[in-house]
A and B are shown apart, each in its own frame.
Chain A
Amino acid sequence: GQSLEQPSEVTAVEGAIVQINCTYQTSGFYGLSWYQQHDGGAPTFLSYNGLDGLEETGRFSSFLSRSDSYGYLLLQELQMKDSASYFCAAPTGRRALTFGSGTRLQVQP
């Protein structure tokens, strides 16, 4: 099975950079994804890493190190609208995704 761990809360100020970490334990590994969920809404896809290294999508980047079973989501130039919960997720190999417990990001002015 899959187990993903991430911090429960992170606080940062507008314009800053924040990193949300995710460590995982898996019986097989097929990549790490990141999702954003605003309060009351559904999660939406942000980024995916299938191989080691950094993937950049605008202000968001995601990094993966398979040898360390570790990844992170990096958010730059934080905006108030980035306040949300962020989930790392990994496929179970049975066509479903297992999600971490989520990190609540609070962006302060």
Chain B
Amino acid sequence: SQTIHQWPATLVQPVGSPLSLECTVEGTSNPNLYWYRQAAGRGLQLLFYSVGIGQISSEVPQNLSASRPQDRQFILSSKKLLLSDSGFYLCAWTPETHSGNTIYFGEGSWLTVV
């Protein structure tokens, strides 16, 4: 069966510091991978998605970036965090040939920028 893991689960970072969130998927090949962000009590905002190694599409201009160095690894980064970057970050995946209806989320990472 397929599993998705992301880490760290919780982190508190000062403004201006770098960020790295990592996500891996097991049990499948060539998944579509996503990063979503959720502000407290709000909906989910798509940040990035990737259909293959090195292929990243950005949905929202911001100081975040994403990379996919391996087939089942997706990394969210920032060189300098802003207060507005605080939120709940969710990695997700869908099968390569999915029809766009079901998406599977990781456990999430709570980021607080102070």
With both chains docked as a complex, state the minimum distance between the C-beta of B33 and any C-beta of chain A, in angstroms. 10
Which residues of A in the span 90-105 have a Cβ within 8 Å of any Cβ on B?
Answer: 91-102, 104
Provide the bound-state CA to CA distance between A91 and B102, in Å: 9
B43 pairs with A87, CB closer than 8 A? yes
> In the assembled complex, which residues on chain A have CB atoms less than 8 Å from the CB atom of B104?
45
Partner of B90, one of A42, A95, A96: A42
With both chains docked as a complex, state the minimum distance between the C-beta of A101 and any C-beta of chain B, in angstroms. 4
Which residues of A in the span 52-96 have a Cβ within 8 Å of any Cβ on B?
Answer: 87, 89, 91-96
Majority SS of interface residues in chain A? loop
Known: A50-B99, A97-B103, A99-B43. 15 other contacts (CB 8 A): A33-B101, A41-B107, A42-B105, A42-B108, A45-B102, A45-B104, A48-B102, A91-B101, A92-B100, A93-B100, A97-B100, A101-B42, A102-B42, A102-B43, A104-B41
Residue tally, chain A, CB below 8 Å to B? 25
A91 pairs with B46, CB closer than 8 A? no
B87 CB–A CB distance under 8 Å: no
A19 CB–B CB distance under 8 Å: no
Q: Which among A33, A42, A50, A99 has the highest number of chain B CB atoms within 10 Å?
A: A42
B94 CB–A CB distance under 8 Å: yes
Partner of A43, one of B42, B44, B101: B44
The 5 closest A-B pairs by CB, nearest first: A91-B100, A42-B105, A101-B43, A99-B44, A48-B101
With both chains docked as a complex, state the minimum distance between the C-beta of A103 and any C-beta of chain B, in angstroms. 10
A44 pairs with B105, CB closer than 8 A? yes
